[in-house]
Chains A and B, each alone.
Chain A
Amino acid sequence: MMEKKLKTSTKVWLTIIFILIMGFLLWIANRTFDDYKLRVLRLIAIYGIMAVSLNLINGITGVFSLGHAGFILIGAYTAALLTLTPEQKAMSFLFGIQPWIEKIHADFFTATIAGGVMAALFAFLIGWPVLKLRGDYLAIASLGFAEVVRIWANNALTITNGPLGLKALQEYSNIWWVYGWLLFTVVFISSLVYSSYGRALKAIREDEIAARSMGINVFKHQLLAFVVGAFFAGVSGSLYAHWLTTIDPRITTMGPMFTFYILIMIVLGGLGSISGSLIGAAIFAILFEWLRNLEQPFTFFGIQVPGIPGMRILVISVLFILVMIFWQRGIMGREELTWENLYKWFSRLKREGEKS
């Protein structure tokens, strides 16, 4: 039996209806959820942007970058320095501040764009040397870039306030901002992936030499993916900073560990799948919050267990190893949740139902 194809107009209508339903559900959630649940709901969107943008670089282009935390940090600091008022900055910078940094001020939207642009600019500059490298070397060099950025943030007292970080940011990242940006990220990156650029990126991932012999400019395409990925990492950094309301350059908050968290999300969801990244981000955010229970005292079959700090990271890391050994393709593999695929799966289920 021939598989029936869905018409393009049907798919567009389905997408619009889906987005409206999701918007409505978010509106309900925004009114009924308590503060804590809303915080987690917003975190899912922020993690989603981080995961989709890292997946563009690592999963779809096959450039194994570990520098995402660096771009997030750049975006977070750029945006935070813009949204803080000159008075706030004058108060919190104990070691003095560059006058021009004290003066600049912008609204949240402009600040977020600026964060993204700044991260993209750094990606463009660092991309020239780093993308000349291959595989493992690139991973280490990009990890090194992220560490250098973090060390710089720790030392440049008059720009970043050093180890004290930036505090008392306004909690601008409300549910509409974060889900709005998430929608834009997904639409932008999936349009990129399904354009001729995206096919070139996938060709590079599969076989670089073959792609080159087909006339694809490998460096140019990799740089494009790297810069676009970094832009959205910067945006997510701004959203994250204004969700957390405080940022500092500690190794445990903005260090390589942060990149590893995002890596877990995209590996769990399936390297190379945008919808997989979103699922991975949602699972990670919820699981990571739920595991907080392990760090508080709890009763297990009548036995009083004291809370163990760090336990949730241990559980996550064990899960990470198990996924890598037994389930490398993750939840989605390289498939996407498209209407076409849903329709195919649904009609297959129906046929099997009719047979039995």
Chain B
Amino acid sequence: MGISSGSFFLQNLFNAIMLGGLYALIAVGYTMVYGILRLINFAHGDIMMMGVYFAFYAATILSLSSIPAAIVAVLGAAGLGFLIDRIAYKPLRNAPRISALITAIAMSFFLESFAVVVFGAVPKSFLSVFKDRSILNKVLTVGGAKIPLLTFLVIILTAAIFAVLFWIVYRTKIGMAMRAISMDIPTTSLMGINVDMVIGFTFALGSALAAASGIMWAMRYPNVFPYMGFMPGLKAFIAAVVGGIGSIPGAIVGGLVLGAVEIFAVSYFPDLSGYRDAFSFIILIAILLIKPSGILGKKAIEKV
């Protein structure tokens, strides 16, 4: 298959959409928390990692089949996100923002070392979760390009999760409360909304999405280790910034941009493949210099 052929392009396009969707799912958690608290939840990528381990152990130790294991893992990650907010971030709501950021770094550090101690530093294969692996190896042919069935499944699932997310944020009461506190916390609390509960819910929701993304990530790249969440987490944050932090559609756009750049750059310039992790940081610096509010973000004016 030639590098200029249409099927090669198509194959990469599907990979890019899949990877971009996975980034976007993690990015939503960053963007929602940042929109409300102006806090980079550094531990978000590590919550994704914990979610993958939850799924792994639910399937291997509790011997659940893959779908219940995934549900258990997503719920577990949601609980973990809620707990982290309560224990580490809530006491610092009125502290300087830099203190909250350092605490988030400490939390990320804690989750990683916890995973090293409890789960072990040796990478585990996520494939052992599946009893029936035939589905992983199926390949579909679309317009001459061979696309693994898994890629389609991941894209469809990601889209479905986003549909649910939009329903929660724009059609339910709790979603309305989330949007309200992202605009003005003191006023919202005067309207009789339990702000801490809503922030906790935001953390739980973001963590659940990160875990879902992590599980799909591990199906595609089945290597589970304690630092697996670090890079995807950073890149997802960059996706959130590129799309416009605080905006959920922005997170999707940013994720897709990042996924596309990474996949296409590596497949059309194979020499650069070692630098794949560097692209996103270059994009970050570029976008912050050109349009600091991101592609879909609103321009914020600093009041003195």
Chain A window 324-356, contacts with chain B (Cβ cutoff 8 Å), 1 for yes, 0 for no: 110010000000000000000000000000000
Chain B residues within 8 Å of chain A by Cβ, number: 43
Residue of A nearest to B304 (CB): A209
Give CA–CA (A155, B109) in the complex, Å.
26
B275 with A155: CB separation less than 8 A: yes
Residues in chain B near residue A64, CB distance under 8 A: 98, 101
Per-residue B-contact encoding for A128-163, CB less than 8 Å = 1, 0 else: 011011011101110111011001101100000000
Does A144 lie within 8 Å of B109, measured CB to CB?
Answer: no
Are A132 and B289 CB-contacts (below 8 A) given A151-B275, A309-B121? yes
Give the complex CA separation of A145 and B282 in angstroms.
9
Contact of A308 among B109, B117, B282 (CB under 8 A): B117
With A143-B234, A263-B105 as contacts: A321 and B110 at CB distance below 8 Å: yes
Min Cβ gap A248→B in Å is 15
Q: List B contacts of A311 (CB < 8 A).
A: 117
Per-residue A-contact encoding for B95-116, CB less than 8 Å = 1, 0 else: 1011101110111011011101
Contact of B116 among A62, A66, A129, A313 (CB under 8 A): A313
Docked Cα-Cα span, A143 to B92, in Å, equals 23
Partner of A320, one of B106, B281, B282, B304: B106
Q: Which of B91, B114, B277, B292 meets A314, CB within 8 Å?
A: B114
- B99: which A residues are within 8 A, CB to CB? 324, 328
Q: How far does the Cβ of A47 sit from chain B's closest Cβ, in whole Å?
A: 17
Nearest residue (CB) in B for A59 is B98
Main secondary structure of the interface of B (DSSP, over half): helix
The reply to whether A141 and B92 form a contact with Cβ atoms under 8 Å apart is: no
Contacts of B73 in A (CB 8 A): none
How many angstroms between the C-alpha atoms of A62 and B96 in the bound complex?
12
Q: Is the CB of B288 within 8 A of A139?
A: no
CB distance from B198 to the nearest CB of A (A): 22
Chain B residues whose C-beta falls within 8 Å of the C-beta of A320 in the assembled complex: 106, 109-110
Contacts of B275 in A (CB 8 A): 151-152, 155
User: B40, B105, B230, B278: which has the most chain A beta carbons within 10 Å?
Assistant: B105
Q: Which residues of B contact A309 (CB under 8 A)?
A: 116-117, 121
Q: Does A20 contact B (CB under 8 A)?
A: no
Interface residues of B in 229-277 (CB under 8 A from A): 230, 234, 237-238, 241, 274-275, 277
In the complex the two chains form, is A129's CB within 8 Å of B285's CB? yes
In the bound complex, residues from chain B placing their C-beta under 8 Å from that of A136 are 38, 40, 97, 101
How long is the Cα–Cα vector from A130 to B282 in the complex, in angstroms? 11
A187 at the interface (CB under 8 A from B): no
- Please state if A130 and B285 are interface contacts (CB–CB under 8 Å): yes
A151-B278 in contact given A140-B40, A140-B234, A263-B102 (Cβ < 8 Å): yes
Given A64-B101, A311-B117, A140:B106 Cβ within 8 A: no
Tell yes or no: B227 within 8 A of A by CB.
Answer: yes
Q: How far is the CB of A3 from chain B (nearest CB, A)?
A: 30
Whether B113 contacts A317 by the Cβ 8 Å rule is yes
CB of B51 to closest CB in A, whole Å: 19
Residue of A nearest to B103 (CB): A324
User: Is A318 engaged at the interface, CB distance under 8 Å to the other chain?
Assistant: yes
A260's closest neighbor in chain B, by CB? B109
Report the Cα distance A337→B287, complex, angstroms.
Answer: 43
Q: In the complex the two chains form, is B113's CB within 8 Å of A135's CB? A: no
* Bound form: Cα–Cα A281–B71 in Å: 44
Would you give the 0/1 interface string for B276-297, flagging 1 where the beta carbon is closer than 8 Å to chain A? 0110111011001100100000
A232 CA / B221 CA spacing, docked (Å): 40
> When the two chains form their complex, are residues B281 and A148 in contact, meaning their CB atoms are under 8 A apart?
yes
B88–A151 touching, CB < 8 Å: no
Known: A64-B101, A310-B117, A328-B99. 13 other contacts (CB 8 A): A140-B40, A147-B281, A148-B277, A148-B278, A152-B275, A252-B227, A256-B230, A309-B121, A310-B113, A314-B110, A314-B116, A317-B110, A328-B95
5 A-B pairs with C-beta separation under 8 A: A136-B38, A140-B284, A147-B281, A152-B275, A317-B113
Q: Give the 8 A-B CB pairs with smallest separation, nearest first.
A: A144-B281, A310-B116, A155-B274, A317-B110, A313-B113, A320-B106, A314-B113, A324-B103
